[in-house]
C-alpha cells in the first residue's frame, strides 16, 4: 500500500479537548472502586431498610451475648436518622465481640501503612464502652491492624483513629471488624476506613486508579452519568444537593445499576477529581426523564428541576458572594471551578413521549439567560428554535460495526451543532476489552481525529469495573481492578497513545492499495508528524510512505506499537502487562519510508521535520 502525507498542508485544527473521560456509578466504579472508602455500606443501609442481602454480619461464633439491631429512634443526623445498636452483655478484653464488614470483596493491606478510621457513636450515660476497629485476615483470623476510638458519650459525636500495619505481607483476603470489649450498649453509624489516597486527600481517591487515569491526560470528565444521572424513576434522579457537605448529611441514594450509592463521591468530589487531573468538568444536569420511561412535563412541573440546574451551575462556578458559591466554600472549596459545557439529560432518545425538545428548550433558555457563555449539549437532535451547541452521540458496537464505519462523520454537515461522542466503545471481551476491540477502537479513533473539526470531544464508556462478578453490571470496560490490584486493558493503551500523540492539526493524506482492515490518521504538532497506522488484519501490512515536507526530515523516527498475537488476547489482573506499548527507534528515515506493520497492531510513527 502507498500512503502519501503532505506535512505542510493542514486540513483543520484538532479539538484540544478531543479525548476525555465519561464516568458514573456503575460496576462499583466509585464505591468499591475509585472512591477509596474500604467499608461497604458504611451507613447500615441494608439493615435499616431490611433489605434481603445484608453486608454487615454479627461476629461468627461469638458468645458474648451480642445483639445488633437497627434503632430507628436515634441517629447522627437528619440524613441518617437511625443507627446500629450494639449490645454486648458479656464482652471482655479476652473475649470481645462485634460486627464484621467484608469490605468491597476484600480489604487491601499493605505493609507499614497508615489507615484513617472514623465513626459516629453514642453511648449510654455513665457507661464507657470503647469501640475498636480492626482489619482481620480471613484465613488466619489474625488482626493485622487495629485502633480503639475514645469511649463515646451519651451525645452523638464523630470519633477518629489511626491504624498502622506492621511488617505484614500485601493481602486482600481481609475484613473489617467493629468490636467492644466491655459489657454495655453503643449506637453507631457512618463507619469509615480509608487507606492512603491520591495526593493524600481526605475522603479521597484510590492511588493506582488515579495514576492510570492521569496517564490518559484526559481533557474533560463527563459526569455524573449516564443512567446514573437519571435514576430508574424520577424520585431516584441525581439530586446533587444530597451529595454535598459533610458525609453524615448525605442520605445515600439508589444507583440504577442495582446498588445503593454512598454518595461519598459527591458533586464536589467529582469537581476535585477534575482539578487533580487537570480536566474540565462537563456537567450533565438532570432534565426530567428517568430510565423506566417517566418524564416530568415541560412547564410548571419542570421548573423546579430547571432551578436546581441553575443552582448547581452556581455551586460549580459562583463566587463566594453567591448563595451556592458560599455553600461550596463552606464545603471546603472557596475557588470556583471552570465550566464550559453543560449536558441537558442523558439519552433522551429513549423518551418516546417526545417531550425532550420542550424540556431541552426550557432548560436551555433559562441556562443561557443566567450563563450566556456556557455551551449546551443535547442528548439527541431537538425540534424548534432553541437549538443546542453540541449533540451527544453514543456508539456501543462490535469490531465489525466500527471497522466498517470509520468514515461515519466524513460527510456530516459542518453547519449544524458540533458533535460530542459522549459514550463509545467496542463491545468485545469481559470484563475488559480484548485486542480485537482495541484495534476496532483505534480504527474508530482515526475517524474521530480526521473529523475533529466537527467531533470536538469523545469519551470511552464505561471507564471502570470492579472485576468481582458480583460487582460488575456492564460487559466491556476500560480499566479493571479488585480490592488490591488494577490493570489496564489494551483499549486503555490505545487511548493513552491516541491521547499522547493527538497532534494539533490534521494534515492532508491519502492511502491506496491497503486492505479494508488498515486505517490511518496523519496529524502534526509543532515540528512533529504523528502517523497512526492500525493494521487489524491477520497478515503483515507493507506500506510505502511518501512524506511531502518542505523542511528536512530527521533521519531518526520513533515507532510505538501495541500488538498481540491473537485478537482475543487481553490483559487481566493476573497478566496486567501482557499487551503494552513497545517503543522502537527507526533509522534512515527520509521522504520515502518503507515499513511492514505487524498483523494485529496499532502503530504510532513519530517523525520530526526540522
Ligand atoms: O455506559 C453505560 C450506559 O450506557 C450509560 O449509563 C448509558 O448512558 C448508556 O446507555
ipTM associated with this complex: 0.99
Q: Which residue out of 462, 472, 477, 478 has the highest number of ligand 1 atoms within 8 Å of its CB and is therefore the one to mutate?
A: 462
SS3 358: helix
CA-wise closest residue to 45 among 228, 251, 249, 246: 251
Q: How large is the angle between the packed helices 267-276 and 303-317, nearest 10 degrees?
A: 40
In angstroms, what CA-CA distances link 285 with 89, 344, 345, 413, 457?
51, 5, 6, 28, 18
| Residue 128 confidence class, pLDDT cut points 50, 70, 90 | confident
Q: Is the dihedral of CA 370, 373, 374, 375 positive or negative?
A: positive
| Closest ligand 1 atom number to CA of residue 22 | 1
**How far is residue 332's CA from residue 327's CA, in Å, rounded to a whole number?**
9
Phi, psi of 45 (to 5 degrees): -60, -45
359-373 mean pLDDT: 98
Q: Is the CB of 346 under 6 A from ligand 1?
A: yes
Report the separation in Å between the CA atom of 321 and the middle of ligand 1, taken as the mean of its atom positions.
Answer: 37
| Residue 82 confidence class, pLDDT cut points 50, 70, 90 | very high
CA-wise closest residue to 375 among 10, 15, 13, 12: 15
Domain ranges of the chain: 1-34+199-218+400-408+428-610, 45-194
Which protein residue has the closest C-alpha to ligand 1 atom 8? 226
| Closest ligand 1 atom number to CA of residue 256 | 6
Q: Is the CB of 422 under 6 A from ligand 1?
A: no
**How far is residue 33's CA from residue 471's CA, in Å, rounded to a whole number?**
10
**How far is residue 361's CA from residue 261's CA, in Å, rounded to a whole number?**
31
CATH fold for the domain made of 45-194: Jelly Rolls (2.60.120)
Q: Is the CB of 225 under 6 A from ligand 1?
A: yes
| Residue 610 confidence class, pLDDT cut points 50, 70, 90 | confident
Grid cell locating 304: 423546579
**How far is residue 9's CA from residue 6's CA, in Å, rounded to a whole number?**
5
Residue 62 above 60 pLDDT?
Answer: no
**Spatial contact of 283 and 316, defined as CB atoms under 8 Å apart:** yes
User: To which residue does cell 429513549 refer?
Assistant: 350
| Closest ligand 1 atom number to CA of residue 423 | 1
**How far is residue 74's CA from residue 72's CA, in Å, rounded to a whole number?**
6
Report the separation in Å between the CA atom of 394 and the middle of ligand 1, taken as the mean of its atom positions.
Answer: 9
Q: Is the dihedral of CA 332, 31, 475, 292 positive or negative?
A: negative
Grid cell locating 197: 489516597
Which protein residue has the closest C-alpha to ligand 1 atom 4? 226
| Closest ligand 1 atom number to CA of residue 394 | 9
| Residue 492 confidence class, pLDDT cut points 50, 70, 90 | very high
Report the separation in Å between the CA atom of 227 and the middle of ligand 1, taken as the mean of its atom positions.
Answer: 6
126-145 mean pLDDT: 95
Q: Which residue out of 21, 351, 423 has the highest number of ligand 1 atoms within 8 Å of its CB and is therefore the one to mutate?
A: 423
Residue 61 above 70 pLDDT?
Answer: no
Report the separation in Å between the CA atom of 424 and the middle of ligand 1, taken as the mean of its atom positions.
Answer: 9
**Is domain 1-34+199-218+400-408+428-610 given the CATH code 3.90.25.10 in the classification?**
no
Grid cell locating 461: 464508556
| Sheet containing strand 174-180, strands side by side | 57-58, 97-101, 174-180, 131-137, 143-148
In angstroms, what CA-CA distances link 149 with 109, 162, 348?
21, 9, 49
Q: Is the CB of 226 under 6 A from ligand 1?
A: yes
| Residue 549 confidence class, pLDDT cut points 50, 70, 90 | confident
The distance from CA 147 to its chain's CA centroid, rounded to whole angstroms, is: 32
Q: Is the CB of 227 under 6 A from ligand 1?
A: yes
- Kindly report the average pLDDT of the chain as a whole number: 96
Amino acid at each position: 500500500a502507498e500512503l502519501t502525507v503532505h506535512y505542510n498542508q493542514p486540513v483543520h485544527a484538532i479539538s484540544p479537548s478531543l479525548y476525555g473521560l465519561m464516568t458514573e456509578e456503575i460496576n462499583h466504579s466509585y464505591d468499591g472502586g475509585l472512591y477509596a472508602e474500604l467499608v461497604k455500606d458504611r451507613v447500615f443501609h441494608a439493615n435499616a431498610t431490611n433489605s434481603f442481602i445484608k453486608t454487615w454480619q454479627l461476629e461468627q461464633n461469638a458468645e458474648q451475648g451480642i445483639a445488633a439491631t437497627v434503632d430507628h429512634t436515634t441517629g447522627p443526623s437528619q440524613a441518617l436518622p437511625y443507627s446500629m445498636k450494639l449490645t454486648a452483655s458479656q464482652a471482655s478484653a479476652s473475649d470481645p465481640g462485634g460486627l464484621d464488614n467484608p469490605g468491597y470483596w476484600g480489604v487491601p493491606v499493605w505493609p507499614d501503612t497508615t489507615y484513617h478510621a472514623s465513626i459516629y457513636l453514642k453511648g449510654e450515660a455513665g457507661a464507657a464502652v470503647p469501640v475498636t476497629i480492626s482489619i482481620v485476615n480471613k484465613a488466619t483470623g489474625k488482626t493485622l491492624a487495629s485502633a480503639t476510638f475514645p469511649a463515646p458519650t451519651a451525645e452523638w459525636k464523630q470519633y477518629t483513629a489511626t491504624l498502622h500495619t506492621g511488617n505484614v505481607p500485601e493481602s486482600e483476603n481481609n475484613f473489617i471488624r467493629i468490636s467492644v470489649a466491655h459489657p454495655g450498649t453503643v449506637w453507631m453509624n457512618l463507619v469509615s476506613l480509608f487507606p492512603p489516597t491520591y495526593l493524600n486527600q481526605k475522603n479521597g481517591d484510590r492511588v493506582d486508579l488515579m495514576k492510570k487515569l492521569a496517564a490518559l491526560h484526559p481533557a474533560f470528565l463527563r459526569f455524573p452519568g449516564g443512567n446514573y444521572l437519571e435514576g430508574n424513576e424520577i424520585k431516584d434522579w441525581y439530586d446533587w444537593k444530597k451529595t454535598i457537605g459533610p458525609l453524615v448529611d448525605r442520605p445515600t441514594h439508589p444507583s440504577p445499576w442495582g446498588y445503593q450509592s454512598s454518595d461519598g463521591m459527591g458533586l464536589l468530589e467529582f469537581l476535585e477529581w477534575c482539578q487533580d487531573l487537570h480536566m474540565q468538568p462537563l456537567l450533565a444536569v438532570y432534565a426530567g426523564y428517568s430510565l423506566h420511561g417517566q418524564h416530568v412535563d415541560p412547564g410548571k412541573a419542570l421548573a423546579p428541576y430547571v432551578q436546581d440546574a441553575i443552582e448547581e451551575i452556581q455551586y460549580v462556578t459562583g463566587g463566594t458572594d453567591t448563595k451556592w458559591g458560599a455553600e461550596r466554600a463552606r464545603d471546603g472549596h472557596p475557588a470556583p471551578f471552570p465550566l464550559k459545557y453543560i449536558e441537558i439529560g442523558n439519552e433522551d432518545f429513549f423518551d418516546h413521549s417526545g417531550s425532550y425538545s420542550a424540556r431541552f428548550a426550557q432548560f436551555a433558555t433559562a441556562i443561557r439567560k443566567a450563563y450566556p457563555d456556557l455551551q449546551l449539549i443535547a442528548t439527541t437532535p431537538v425540534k424548534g428554535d432553541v437549538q443546542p451547541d453540541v449533540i451527544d452521540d453514543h456508539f456501543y458496537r462490535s469490531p465489525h460495526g466500527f471497522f466498517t464505519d470509520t468514515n461515519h462523520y466524513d460527510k456530516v454537515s459542518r453547519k449544524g451543532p458540533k458533535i460530542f461522542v459522549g459514550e463509545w466503545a467496542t463491545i468485545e471481551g469481559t470484563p475488559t476489552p480484548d485486542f480485537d476491540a482495541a484495534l476496532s477502537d483505534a480504527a474508530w479513533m482515526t475517524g474521530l481525529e480526521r473529523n475533529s473539526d466537527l467531533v470536538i470531544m469523545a469519551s470511552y464508556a464505561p471507564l471502570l469495573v470492579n472485576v468481582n462478578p458480583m460487582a460488575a453490571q456492564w460487559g466491556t470496560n476500560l480499566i479493571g481492578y479488585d480490592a488490591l490490584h488494577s490493570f489496564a486493558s489494551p483499549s486503555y493503551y490505545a487511548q493513552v497513545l491516541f491521547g499522547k500523540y493527538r497532534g494539533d492539526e490534521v494534515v492532508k493524506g491519502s492511502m491506496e492499495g491497503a486492505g479494508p482492515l488498515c486505517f490511518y490518521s496523519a496529524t502534526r504538532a509543532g515540528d512533529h508528524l504523528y502517523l497512526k497506522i492500525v493494521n487489524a488484519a491477520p497478515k503483515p501490512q507493507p506500506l510505502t510512505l511518501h512524506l511531502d515536507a518542505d523542511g528536512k526530515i530527521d533521519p531518526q523516527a520513533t515507532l510505538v506499537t501495541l500488538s498481540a498475537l491473537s485478537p482475543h488476547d487481553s490483559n487481566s489482573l493476573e497478566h496486567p502487562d501482557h499487551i503494552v506499548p513497545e517503543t522502537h527507534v527507526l533509522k534512515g528515515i527520509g521522504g520515502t519510508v518503507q515499513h511492514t506493520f505487524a498483523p494485529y497492531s496499532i502503530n504510532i510513527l513519530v517523525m520530526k521535520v526540522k
